[in-house]
Amino acid sequence: MAKSVVILGTQWGDEGKGKIVDLLAHDVDAVVRYQGGHNAGHTLVIDGKKTVLHVIPSGVMTERARCLIGNGVVVAPHNLLKEIEGLEARGLDVRSRIGLSPACPVILACHEALDQARERARGKRAIGTTGRGIGPAYEDKVSRHGLRLADLADPQRLADKLDAVIDYHNFLLANYYDAKPVDGDAVRDDAARFGQILKPMFTDVTGDLHELRARGGRILFEGAQGSLLDIDHGTYPFVTSSNTTVGGVLTGAGVGPRDIDYVLGITKAYTTRVGGGPFPTELDDAAGRLMAERGVEFGATTGRPRRCGWLDAVAMRRMVKVNGVTGLCITKLDVLDPFPEVKICVEYEGVEAFPVGAEEWGRVKPVYETLPGWSGTTQGLTDASKLPAGARAYLDRIAELIEAPVHMLSTGPERDANVIFQHPFGH
């Protein structure tokens, strides 16, 4: 029986991970974020009330689970606090349940300013980032001059390190990007203040996870963004700056491959993408508009409209392999309910090797297989026997093409709207 489960998106994000994490969090002792930052937007609907989380694990809405933020997550202290305060205002006890790795890289105001200045400078080639400073914060981590949460909590260390970082970024902003430098004093004051506020939440996330595992506890790792936005395996450079695929769990939380028992790949029944970059199955027609409208496809973080298209089984098959997916959870199937026919991309015409990056992805021509639609609705279904035959055939074909079994089906935004064929924790 699985004790630790990874939930990650197999597409370009927005597959509906947050809802599934929230659902499975009832069964676990800890929910762990391991990569990304507040670029993520996880929408939960509980008793008709909508909550959007950005960096706090989606397990926070259940009483039991500890919410751990591993060293692989880049943390913007002001944003984290805003999120904590928002949840506290709704009567949730948050601070005692959050555990923050002191090794998390810090996102400062200058990272955000740099992210936005870079995007402006890229013009038509803009990546379409969320503008939250994610890329520049990871750059500072890799170049080894970035600050970590532990630095914020120690006034001497902070004083020793922060000025050089602000100076460097302000130099770039003013002299390379012709942009407004950030107010250094404000950054310094904020960093010192937030460090003291966050310090009581610090914990050795890696140590805690191993202890939990030794005690037989259940752990859920919550991925952010999607596999095709992975810095190594995605549509580079139109990607995010972290490993969104399963390797990110190991480095971003400090667990070994044998500490993962099950990988649940969340896959939308069609495909969406926000921001720029190649998207072979994108639709610029009435079908795409119907998907956007029925699926309410607007970014949870930035409110941008999402691009929509058919399911891409070629890319999915690859992501299933990269992530070692055990089972799939198909989401938003009901969006396709009124379609007279549905398509799946089964091949990339004339392409022998899997695309390396944006240039190769941009040349991909999808070959489609068409399946009949289904009459009747799948919305809100909880009983597998009530699935229309056509919908069942679509799911079976997906499983066959992408070489992974469908273990779950999410049939609406509400927590209980699911068909569970096989529970990831094995019950």
- String of DSSP letters for 249-302: HHHHHT--GGG--EEEEEEESSEEE-SSS--TTB--SHHHHHHHHHTT-B-TTT
Please report whether residue 406 would count as binding ligand IMP according to CB under 6 A: no
Residue 42 designated active-site: yes
> Which among 124, 117, 111, 241 is positioned nearest to 176, based on CA atoms?
117
Q: Closest residue (Cβ) to ligand IMP?
A: 275
Please report whether residue 128 would count as binding ligand IMP according to CB under 6 A: yes
Q: From CA 162, how far away is CA 44, in angstroms rounded? A: 36
28 close to 58: Cβ distance less than 8 angstroms = no
CB of 56 to ligand IMP, least distance (A): 14
Q: Which residues contact 219 (CB under 8 A, 6 or more apart)?
A: 3, 4, 5, 28, 29, 30, 31, 32, 209, 212, 213
- For ligand IMP, which residue of 100, 110, 114, 127 counts as binding (CB under 6 A)? 127
Closest to ligand IMP by CB, 65 vs 76, is 76
Give the DSSP letter of residue 105: B
Please report whether residue 40 would count as binding ligand IMP according to CB under 6 A: yes
Q: Which one from 38, 42, 54, 111 is the annotated catalytic residue?
A: 42
Please report whether residue 39 would count as binding ligand IMP according to CB under 6 A: yes
Please report whether residue 275 would count as binding ligand IMP according to CB under 6 A: yes
Closest to ligand IMP by CB, 129 vs 410, is 129
Please report whether residue 134 would count as binding ligand IMP according to CB under 6 A: yes
- For ligand IMP, which residue of 240, 243, 331, 411 counts as binding (CB under 6 A)? 240
Q: Which residues contact 180 (CB under 8 A, 6 or more apart)?
A: 113, 173, 174
Closest to ligand IMP by CB, 300 vs 395, is 300
Closest to ligand IMP by CB, 71 vs 240, is 240
CB of 298 to ligand IMP, least distance (A): 11
Please report whether residue 11 would count as binding ligand IMP according to CB under 6 A: no
Q: Which residues contact 345 (CB under 8 A, 6 or more apart)?
A: 280, 281, 310, 311, 312, 313, 314, 315, 366, 367, 368
- For ligand IMP, which residue of 10, 62, 101, 130 counts as binding (CB under 6 A)? 130
**Which residues 200-239 are close enough to bind ligand IMP by CB under 6 A?**
224-225, 229, 238
Closest to ligand IMP by CB, 73 vs 212, is 73
Please report whether residue 18 would count as binding ligand IMP according to CB under 6 A: no
> Which among 362, 344, 360 is positioned nearest to 352, based on CA atoms?
360
Closest to ligand IMP by CB, 158 vs 264, is 264
Please report whether residue 41 would count as binding ligand IMP according to CB under 6 A: yes
Exposure of 295 in the CB half-sphere (CA atoms within 13 A): 32
CB of 121 to ligand IMP, least distance (A): 15
Burial 95-112 (b: 16+ CB within 10 A, else e): eebbbbbbbbbbbbbbbb
Closest to ligand IMP by CB, 80 vs 229, is 229
Q: From CA 416, how far away is CA 8, in angstroms rounded? A: 20
CB of 179 to ligand IMP, least distance (A): 17
Please report whether residue 181 would count as binding ligand IMP according to CB under 6 A: no
CB of 242 to ligand IMP, least distance (A): 8
Judging by beta carbons within 10 Å of its beta carbon (0-12, 13-18, 19+), is residue 21 exposed, middle or buried?
buried
SS3 state of residue 221: strand
Q: Which residue has the tokens 């499975």?
A: 24
Please report whether residue 325 would count as binding ligand IMP according to CB under 6 A: no
Please report whether residue 58 would count as binding ligand IMP according to CB under 6 A: no
CB of 69 to ligand IMP, least distance (A): 16
> Of all helices (H) and strands (E), which one includes residue 343?
strand 341-348
Q: From CA 195, how far away is CA 326, in angstroms rounded? A: 39
Q: From CA 57, how far away is CA 22, in angstroms rounded? A: 9
Q: From CA 254, how far away is CA 238, in angstroms rounded? A: 27
Please report whether residue 14 would count as binding ligand IMP according to CB under 6 A: yes
**Does the N-terminal peptide bond of residue 388 adopt cis geometry, omega within 30 degrees of 0?**
no
Please report whether residue 278 would count as binding ligand IMP according to CB under 6 A: no
Residue 38 designated active-site: no
Size of the site for ligand IMP (CB under 6 A): 20
Q: From CA 416, how far away is CA 422, in angstroms rounded? A: 15
Closest to ligand IMP by CB, 111 vs 213, is 111
Judged by CB under 6 A, which stretch of 129-137, 309-317, 388-396, 413-421 contacts ligand IMP? 129-137
Please report whether residue 319 would count as binding ligand IMP according to CB under 6 A: no
Q: From CA 333, how far away is CA 379, in angstroms rounded? A: 8
Binding site for ligand IMP (CB under 6 A): 13-14, 39-41, 127-130, 132, 134-135, 224-225, 229, 238, 240-241, 274-275
Catalytic residue numbers read: 14, 42
